[in-house]
A and B are shown apart, each in its own frame.
Chain A
Amino acid sequence: MNDQERLKRQEKIRNFSIIAHIDHGKSTLADRILENTKSVTSREMKAQLLDSMDLERERGITIKLNAVQLKYTAKDGEDYIFHLIDTPGHVDFTYEVSRSLAACEGAVLVVDAAQGIEAQTLANVYLALDNDLELIPVINKIDLPAADPDRIAQEVEDVIGLDKDEAIHASAKANIGIEEILERVVETVPAPAGDPSAPLKALIFDSVFDPYRGVISSIRIMEGTVKPGDKIKMMATGKEFEVAEVGINTPKPLPVKELTVGDVGYLMASVKNVSDSRVGDTITLANNPAETPLEGYKKMNPMVYCGIYPIDTGKYNDLREALEKLELNDSSLVYEPETSQALGFGFRTGFLGLLHMEIVQERIEREFGIELIATAPSVIYEVYMTDGSVITVDNPAEMPDPQKVDHIEEPYVKSTVMVPSDYVGAVMELCQKKRGNFINMDYLDDIRVNIIYEIPLSEVVFDFFDQLKSQTKGYASFDYELIGYQESRLVKMDILLNNEKVDALSVIVHRDFAYDRGKNIVEKLKTLIPRQQFEVPVQAAIGNKVIARTNIKSMGKNVLSKCYGGDISRKRKLLEKQKEGKKKMKAVGNVEIPQEAFLSVLKMDEE
């Protein structure tokens, strides 16, 4: 292709993604678009084609991004090239969402015709507006009995400022309104700008590791052209590689001769580790580099840490290998070896958020067959020592002696809760309980209220979302962003089982909440730890001061005394069940602790 052909083709490219709250029908709409553009036949389709990992499919959320090239013949008789870029649907992955939106010129905003706008939708709309995207509002699920598309269209106009008359009424499930959406993409989403002969600027919006082909980066070409054999340079890391292959997803990968302005595809260059091809970085040519990289690159830092340990201590090396493999694919995953007196050898591991943490743990258990004990997640504390130095602590067990500490700061987030006005009281009460500072509240319309609090991240990462959902009957939606560190009166609380400190159960708590938390934790542990052969005292202590205690009574006896009339199979089943249960336990000293105990320590009980 010469530049003139490239420019002509560029005119026909439309790059867009779909923004939606979880369950509002994003994946179904994506499937429908794929079908209606005849890129894949229905027969080839698994439901929700873009979500490729099993875990994603099970949880109904998109974790890793995908981009598909589609051919669409519009009503004007012209053939268009669509790139549909999928975005992850969870607050943990906000940055990745923002980068994939940066690869687009437009976005289809999907809003559920019954539920309306949610906080997450709004957050993503703002990201889209930040990237100057053309928004196409779609009111989805209009065929459901509870649908009220006119009211929701009005809400979209009031809250986001998109003309209600422009909202497309659709049902992805029933295949209603899909063609209208595609036509609107052709009409309103601008063709990509950029010069195919300029120095290369390609935005990396996703990187995955493939064991056979190395890192595969999903890229959007902003300027210039790239082809196999080119020497490229990652502008943030400065690393250079030679391009082995470029291609597009149809959704199957299809190698092409080159990728040029407006193209969205993949690039392989024998990169061994995703951290060398970071999301948000700009690829340029080594011998004809662009002067400045694209804006918006951020190195993603973990927000939440926890210790993970193999239940079977012999599997430490297997766990290390599992983490190494996952790391290849996940540049935000960090880990380093740590030792716990209670749990033995394991790894302190950093995650973007709780969901990210759960997903990684689940993948290790499922894909690598290693059963894990995970400690309660911790945020990163900045500890100002009396000698003037500052240390960071991501493991409560390592909190220094209080005598040496001047003060402690912890990360705060700005949390936005969107909720029907009936639940304002409940939300505010919860936020207060979670040590939140009220910032603002504004009525989006007659019914919906946006409540903004600054809350310690440590309070958010545990069960904030669960509590929010239960106290608002599921109506609240929630988003947060990190805003920096603030001083808090924090103390380390240790948990002692059988008079021995269990380092993996130590937690950092606010001084004013310590007594309640301590009481709560020991009572909870009492219910979770099975009765042992001896009485086990459970204590919560700050320094040497015990602030709460209870006892786990010794068990009476543990033997199937009954005869069960010759029903040996039943005895066997009971024994097998017991054996299965034991596999999930970790012996600490001579007390056996089930896995849930380690995670439960920071969950508040409902009053």
Chain B
Amino acid sequence: MVESLYIHIPFCNRICTYCDFNKVLIKNQPVDDYLDALIREIEMIEEDRMKTIFVGGGTPTALTEAQLARLLEVVTGKFTVTDEFTFEANPDELTPGKLDVLKSFGVNRISLGVQTFNEDLLKVLGRSHGYDDIFNAISHMEKIGLDNYSLDLMYNLPGETMEDIEDSLRHVERLKPKHISWYSLIIEPHTVFYNQIRKGRMQVDDDSAEGEKYFHIIESLEKLGYPQYEISNFSTAQYESAHNKTYWLNESYYGAGAGSHGYVDGTRYYNIKPVNHYIQSMQESGSVVKETLPLDEKARMEEEMFLGLRMNRGVEVARFNRKFDRPMDDVYGTVIEQEIEKGHLEEQDGFISLTEKGRLVGNTVFMEFLL
């Protein structure tokens, strides 16, 4: 049984300079046709209950109130959402009207794309919101009692100083969100940033104190009552993201919408990315899946490890043994021993987890778990 669903809204009013997700400028896009196709895809799902639903993008809040209502009508009509129902939102687009729509359909968590509190850096990132928009959005949310939100931040931005991080931390202290995601900027191909660098118009700071900033963030948030529970995620008690934990626990989820990824019955799949092709394919064949990749047991074990180790608690040995019907030790005994020796891993209370040192070089550790 699949208990999680991701829904992708690939439209934005503005394209951020760092974004490499599947998105298009909303202007002149067939948004309603897209919603038709998306709704058809959602309705094909067998289950009628979902533990978690996450609507992401692009920018879901780029939709109009009417469009939001139409989508939510179908989603909530089809599924009983038992646990967590999250919407990604841009501060400037989260108007009282849209918030009311979300709230009325039972959305109970907002993933708020703040990124930074420095106006200059917001411009560098190509964000459409300004400093004041953040507070307006939050006060609307609090007013209507939708106060479970994740403050989504970024660091390691071009031109960023330690003071910018301190500034964000002060705002965290003041705003007291339930949850914080704090990702470091990765310059990906097919982004504005990437092209600027390639043309020599932007310098990447070779000297960046990324590691230093990272540990500072972890320590400071811990002190503020947000212990780290995943490489880039921090939370107060009881507010860890249930939906994202589906990924890290390597459990099944559906992905609906253009370019979405899903994982069902041990098979990863992803949908057609271009909006028009997605719509057309749904109209013509009733299917939008671009490719399916069945995973063999080896791949499933690898993923169980490199996803699970992202979480501070790590991978539960007994759970692994049950899931694959063989002891973790048989498969990874040597690797685990080696990595413990290097100080990258530790074993505690039946869990294998990254140490602080291991967290800094996570990829190097994960890589060792590829069989």
**B186: contacting residue among A553, A561, A569, A579, CB under 8 A:** A561
Q: Tell me whether B210 is interfacial, beta carbon within 8 Å.
A: yes
**B370: contacting residue among A563, A565, A579, CB under 8 A:** A579
* A528-555 to B contact mask, C-beta < 8 Å, 1/0: 0000010000000000000000000111
Q: Which of B169-183 contact A (CB under 8 A)?
A: 181, 183
Q: Which residues of A contact B59 (CB under 8 A)?
A: none
On whether the beta carbons of B232 and A554 are closer than 8 Å, the reply is: no
Distance in Å: Cβ of A582 to nearest Cβ of chain B = 7
Q: Tell me whether B237 is interfacial, beta carbon within 8 Å.
A: no
When C-beta atoms are compared, the residue in chain A nearest to B362 turns out to be A559
Q: Which residues of A contact B261 (CB under 8 A)?
A: 565-569
B contacts with A, residue count (CB < 8 A): 44
Q: Which residues of B contact A533 (CB under 8 A)?
A: 360-361
Q: Which residues of A contact B209 (CB under 8 A)?
A: 556
Q: Tell me whether B324 is interfacial, beta carbon within 8 Å.
A: no
On whether the beta carbons of B208 and A568 are closer than 8 Å, the reply is: no
Given the interface contacts A566-B6, A566-B253, does A558 sit within 8 Å of B362 by beta carbon? yes
On whether the beta carbons of B211 and A556 are closer than 8 Å, the reply is: yes
Q: How far is the CA of A575 from the CA of B302 in the complex (A)?
A: 11
On whether the beta carbons of A556 and B307 are closer than 8 Å, the reply is: no
Q: Which residues of B contact A568 (CB under 8 A)?
A: 247, 261, 263, 268, 303, 307
Q: Tell me whether A560 is interfacial, beta carbon within 8 Å.
A: yes
Given the interface contacts A558-B363, A559-B360, A560-B362, does A569 sit within 8 Å of B293 by beta carbon? yes
Q: Tell me whether B262 is interfacial, beta carbon within 8 Å.
A: yes
Q: How far is the CA of A575 from the CA of B362 in the complex (A)?
A: 10
Q: Tell me whether B21 is interfacial, beta carbon within 8 Å.
A: yes
Q: Which residues of A contact B364 (CB under 8 A)?
A: 558, 578
Q: Which residues of A contact B299 (CB under 8 A)?
A: 572
On whether the beta carbons of B263 and A556 are closer than 8 Å, the reply is: no
On whether the beta carbons of B211 and A574 are closer than 8 Å, the reply is: no
Q: How far is the CA of A37 from the CA of B139 in the complex (A)?
A: 92
Distance in Å: Cβ of B299 to nearest Cβ of chain A = 8
On whether the beta carbons of B363 and A560 are closer than 8 Å, the reply is: yes
When C-beta atoms are compared, the residue in chain B nearest to A533 turns out to be B361
Q: Which residues of A contact B268 (CB under 8 A)?
A: 568-569
Given the interface contacts A556-B210, A569-B293, A575-B370, does A563 sit within 8 Å of B247 by beta carbon? yes
Distance in Å: Cβ of A337 to nearest Cβ of chain B = 29
Q: Which of A556-597 contact B (CB under 8 A)?
A: 556-563, 565-569, 571-572, 574-576, 578-579, 582
On whether the beta carbons of A563 and B232 are closer than 8 Å, the reply is: yes
On whether the beta carbons of A575 and B210 are closer than 8 Å, the reply is: no
Q: Tell me whether B44 is interfacial, beta carbon within 8 Å.
A: no
Q: Tell me whether B184 is interfacial, beta carbon within 8 Å.
A: yes
Distance in Å: Cβ of A131 to nearest Cβ of chain B = 56
Q: Which residues of B contact A555 (CB under 8 A)?
A: 210-211
Given the interface contacts A565-B21, A568-B303, does A578 sit within 8 Å of B214 by beta carbon? no
Q: Specify which of A533, A556, A566, A569 lies most central, judged by the most chain B CB atoms within 10 Å of its CB.
A: A566
On whether the beta carbons of A561 and B363 are closer than 8 Å, the reply is: no
On whether the beta carbons of B6 and A565 are closer than 8 Å, the reply is: yes
Q: How far is the CA of A133 from the CA of B103 in the complex (A)?
A: 96
Q: Which residues of B contact A569 (CB under 8 A)?
A: 261, 268, 270, 293
When C-beta atoms are compared, the residue in chain A nearest to B213 turns out to be A556
Q: Tell me whether B56 is interfacial, beta carbon within 8 Å.
A: yes
On whether the beta carbons of B363 and A575 are closer than 8 Å, the reply is: yes
On whether the beta carbons of B186 and A557 are closer than 8 Å, the reply is: no
Q: Which residues of B contact A572 (CB under 8 A)?
A: 299, 302-303, 306
* B332-369 to A contact mask, C-beta < 8 Å, 1/0: 00000000000000000000000000011111101100
* A79-91 to B contact mask, C-beta < 8 Å, 1/0: 0000000000000
**A553: contacting residue among B181, B207, B363, CB under 8 A:** B207
On whether the beta carbons of B363 and A559 are closer than 8 Å, the reply is: yes
Q: Tell me whether B196 is interfacial, beta carbon within 8 Å.
A: no
**B367: contacting residue among A556, A567, A578, CB under 8 A:** A578
Q: How far is the CA of A557 from the CA of B186 in the complex (A)?
A: 11
Q: Tell me whether B244 is interfacial, beta carbon within 8 Å.
A: yes
Q: How far is the CA of A582 from the CA of B361 in the complex (A)?
A: 14
Q: How far is the CA of A19 from the CA of B106 in the complex (A)?
A: 84
When C-beta atoms are compared, the residue in chain A nearest to B359 turns out to be A559
Distance in Å: Cβ of A314 to nearest Cβ of chain B = 15
Q: Which residues of B contact A576 (CB under 8 A)?
A: 370
Q: Tell me whether B138 is interfacial, beta carbon within 8 Å.
A: no
Distance in Å: Cβ of A196 to nearest Cβ of chain B = 68
Q: How far is the CA of A557 from the CA of B361 in the complex (A)?
A: 6
On whether the beta carbons of A556 and B214 are closer than 8 Å, the reply is: yes
Distance in Å: Cβ of B233 to nearest Cβ of chain A = 9
Q: Which of B94-121 contact A (CB under 8 A)?
A: none
Q: How far is the CA of A576 from the CA of B302 in the complex (A)?
A: 11
Q: Tell me whether B206 is interfacial, beta carbon within 8 Å.
A: yes
Q: How far is the CA of A558 from the CA of B260 in the complex (A)?
A: 26
On whether the beta carbons of A578 and B363 are closer than 8 Å, the reply is: yes
On whether the beta carbons of B231 and A561 are closer than 8 Å, the reply is: yes
Distance in Å: Cβ of B107 to nearest Cβ of chain A = 18
Distance in Å: Cβ of B120 to nearest Cβ of chain A = 22
On whether the beta carbons of A579 and B367 are closer than 8 Å, the reply is: yes
Q: Tell me whether B312 is interfacial, beta carbon within 8 Å.
A: no
When C-beta atoms are compared, the residue in chain B nearest to A574 turns out to be B363
Q: Which of B38-54 contact A (CB under 8 A)?
A: none
**A567: contacting residue among B231, B244, B270, CB under 8 A:** B270
Q: Which of A26-48 contact B (CB under 8 A)?
A: none
Q: Tell me whether B156 is interfacial, beta carbon within 8 Å.
A: yes
On whether the beta carbons of A558 and B361 are closer than 8 Å, the reply is: yes
* B226-244 to A contact mask, C-beta < 8 Å, 1/0: 0000011000000000001
Given the interface contacts A575-B366, A576-B370, A579-B370, does A557 sit within 8 Å of B214 by beta carbon? yes
Distance in Å: Cβ of A270 to nearest Cβ of chain B = 48
Distance in Å: Cβ of A171 to nearest Cβ of chain B = 44
Q: How far is the CA of A561 from the CA of B184 in the complex (A)?
A: 6
Q: How far is the CA of A565 from the CA of B55 in the complex (A)?
A: 10
Q: How far is the CA of A553 from the CA of B207 in the complex (A)?
A: 7
* A491-502 to B contact mask, C-beta < 8 Å, 1/0: 000000000000
Q: How far is the CA of A558 from the CA of B302 in the complex (A)?
A: 19
On whether the beta carbons of B360 and A558 are closer than 8 Å, the reply is: yes
Q: Which residues of A contact B91 (CB under 8 A)?
A: none
Q: How far is the CA of A560 from the CA of B183 in the complex (A)?
A: 10
Q: Tell me whether B60 is interfacial, beta carbon within 8 Å.
A: no
When C-beta atoms are compared, the residue in chain A nearest to B154 turns out to be A561
When C-beta atoms are compared, the residue in chain B nearest to A592 turns out to be B364
Q: How far is the CA of A568 from the CA of B186 in the complex (A)?
A: 17
Q: Which residues of A contact B314 (CB under 8 A)?
A: none
Given the interface contacts A533-B360, A565-B6, does A553 sit within 8 Å of B206 by beta carbon? yes
Q: How far is the CA of A555 from the CA of B307 in the complex (A)?
A: 22
Q: How far is the CA of A579 from the CA of B371 in the complex (A)?
A: 11
Q: Which residues of B contact A559 (CB under 8 A)?
A: 231, 359-363
Q: How far is the CA of A582 from the CA of B364 in the complex (A)?
A: 9
Q: How far is the CA of A34 from the CA of B137 in the complex (A)?
A: 82
Q: Which of B290-330 contact A (CB under 8 A)?
A: 293, 299, 302-303, 306-307
Q: How far is the CA of A574 from the CA of B306 in the complex (A)?
A: 12
On whether the beta carbons of B183 and A575 are closer than 8 Å, the reply is: no
Distance in Å: Cβ of A561 to nearest Cβ of chain B = 5
Distance in Å: Cβ of B66 to nearest Cβ of chain A = 26
Q: Which residues of A contact B363 (CB under 8 A)?
A: 558-560, 574-575, 578
On whether the beta carbons of A561 and B366 are closer than 8 Å, the reply is: no
Q: Tell me whether B8 is interfacial, beta carbon within 8 Å.
A: yes
Q: What are 10 A-B residue pairs whose CB atoms fall within 8 Å in the complex?
A: A556-B184, A556-B210, A558-B363, A559-B359, A559-B362, A565-B56, A568-B261, A569-B293, A571-B307, A572-B302
- Footprint of B on A, CB under 8 Å? 533, 553-563, 565-569, 571-572, 574-576, 578-579, 582
The 9 closest A-B pairs by CB, nearest first: A556-B210, A559-B362, A566-B261, A579-B367, A561-B232, A567-B261, A556-B211, A557-B360, A558-B361
Additional 10 contacts, C-beta under 8 A, given A557-B184, A565-B21, A565-B260? A556-B210, A556-B213, A558-B362, A559-B360, A560-B231, A560-B366, A562-B232, A565-B6, A565-B261, A569-B268
